[in-house]
Amino acid sequence: MDAAAGIAALVGRARAAQAEFETYSQEQVDAVVAGVAWAIYRDDRATALAELSVRDTGLGRIEDKIAKNRRKTIGTLRDLTGAPSVGVLSHDPATGITEYAKPVGVVAAICPSTNPAATPANKTMMAVKGRNAVIVSPSPKGASTCALLVRYIHEELDKIGAPRDIVQYVDAPSKELTNELMRQVDLVVVTGSQRNVRQAYSSGTPAIGVGAGNAPVILAHDADLADAAEKIKRSKVFDYATSCSSENSIHVDASVYDDAITELRRRGGYLLDADEKRRLQAVMWPAGRLNPDVLAREPAKIAALAGLDSPDARSAEFFMVEEDGVGSGHPFSGEKLSVVLTVYRYDDFDACLDRIQRILDFQGAGHSCGIHTRTEALATTVAERLRVARVLVNQAHCFGTGGGFDNGLGFTLTMGAGTWAGNSISENLSYRHFLNVTRLARVIPPRVPTEDELWGGYFERYGR
């Protein structure tokens, strides 16, 4: 069977199942969402999926994958619980508009090897909340984990009596099959490589893709350095930095630079000297491209590869490299997906923001940044100045950017970066992105403005 026919068979089954699923009540839909969540959240399943993921992808750390599988799922389920997605979404007597939720149909969920269980589960929860069918296209390395996840989901769907084919996956993923899937479905949602994002946008199918991360984080003169260092360390080492949201560079006010480095060292950070930095750079970018052998790997392996032989380097939890440049000639200024943190010093806050914008323009456009400060005005200045979708204040980046229990961002593993990154959204992916909306418009009292109401100020200042 050729690629088109094989994908057509999957999509055909999905459409038949979705037609049945579309008749479900809100209560029935919410039971399906809860079942999908339980398929990954249950402790033994979260553990099995994490173990298989690390075994077959070689990326990340088992205990952190378990935590991610559970935390992202319970957070997303919290966001979805009680949210309307069947029938009336809203009614506004003032405008006479009533909104009705409708499914988008069959969704292709393109998922990366970095989170081969958490990402497809997260997208599936949101998609089925809108009474859609989902076909997951995993990375080849993540295919075994995806297969196990879908098996667990089907076990829950069987309990509910819901059709299994509302959740399927491509069992032997390839570029050809993924591209064909994107052409045949109703909506594509892509997390992962920018190649797949570009392919999705050129597939002819409505698509949501996300940009690359490369989060810069500021430590201002008034930062709580101990708190900031602890959060940066926890975020940077979690799952060996598989998250695109983890801090890739920190920008430290010169007046607190030495103290900040001391706090980071106390928490397992190792600051490389100039020679060690050259060796690490040669290993991380041997031919101008990021070496996959350092991606999401344990720090001891990176130390061994780079010949970092000192006891402190061999026992480090993460590495720090000092930098002052930006761009292709300074690869440490880009995204690394590894336990390597780039450190910049700044004397002038405005100049710091200018450099951060250059870093984002180089890699990570639109995604996110952060600041540790006690001064609200500094945080608002960052938000006003930088072209990013999210600015986190006094938070661990990888735990906050994709939604946190102590911030107002929605839980997701798919974060839009706006037109800055060529994305169609600049917000966290939510179930609302998986809905079509019908608007019932009624006659209301006319609202016809006068010329003076609209142009009075203009005429007064500029004349007619």
Structure tokens, 324: 């002052």
Alpha carbon distances (Å) from 205 to 103, 136, 171, 184, 319 = 16, 16, 22, 8, 42
Q: How far apart are CA 253 and CA 143, in angstroms?
A: 45
Q: Is 241 helix (H, G, I), strand (E, B) or coil?
A: helix
pLDDT number for residue 1: 61
pLDDT value of residue 301 = 96
Q: How far apart are the first and last CA of the chain?
A: 71
What pLDDT is stored for residue 271 in this prediction? 98
Q: What is the pLDDT of residue 199?
A: 87
The answer to whether 352 is a known catalytic residue is no
Q: At what angle do helices 26-41 and 143-160 cross, to 10 degrees?
A: 140
- Contacts of residue 315, Cβ cutoff 8 Å, sequence gap at least 6: 300
Beta bridge partners of 428: 415
Taking a C-beta distance cutoff of 8 angstroms, is the pair 149, 100 a contact? no
Structural fold of domain 3-209+430-440? Aldehyde Dehydrogenase; Chain A, domain 1 (3.40.605)
- The fold of 215-411 is Aldehyde Dehydrogenase; Chain A, domain 2 (3.40.309)
Chunked in runs of 10, what are the mean pLDDT values of the chain (464 residues)? 90 98 98 98 98 96 97 98 98 97 98 95 98 97 97 98 98 93 96 84 91 94 98 97 94 98 98 97 93 94 95 96 97 96 98 98 96 98 98 97 95 95 94 98 96 96 95
d(CA 32, CA 157) in angstroms, rounded, equals: 7
What integer pLDDT is reported at residue 291 of this predicted model? 94
Produce one character per residue of 74-94: b if its CB has 16 or more CB atoms within 10 Å, e if not.
ebbbebbeeeebbeebeeeee
Distance between CA atoms of 409 and 253, rounded to whole angstroms? 28
Q: Taking the model in full, what pTM does it have?
A: 0.94
Cα distance between residue 113 and residue 209, in whole Å: 16
pLDDT of residue 192: 79
Please choose, from the candidates 124, 112, 101, the residue with its C-alpha nearest in 3D space to the C-alpha of residue 39. 124
Which residues is 190 bridged to in the sheet? Answer: 110, 209
Quick check: helix, strand or coil at residue 92?
Answer: strand
E strand intervals along 200-241:
207-209, 215-219
Q: Parse the chain into domains and list their residue ranges.
A: 3-209+430-440, 215-411
pLDDT at 357: 98
The four Cα atoms 355, 361, 363, 366 give a dihedral, to 10 degrees, of 110
Q: Cα separation of 408 and 152, whole Å?
A: 30
- Catalytic residue chosen out of the listed positions 111, 146, 244, 352: 244
Six-digit token string for 146: 């995806």
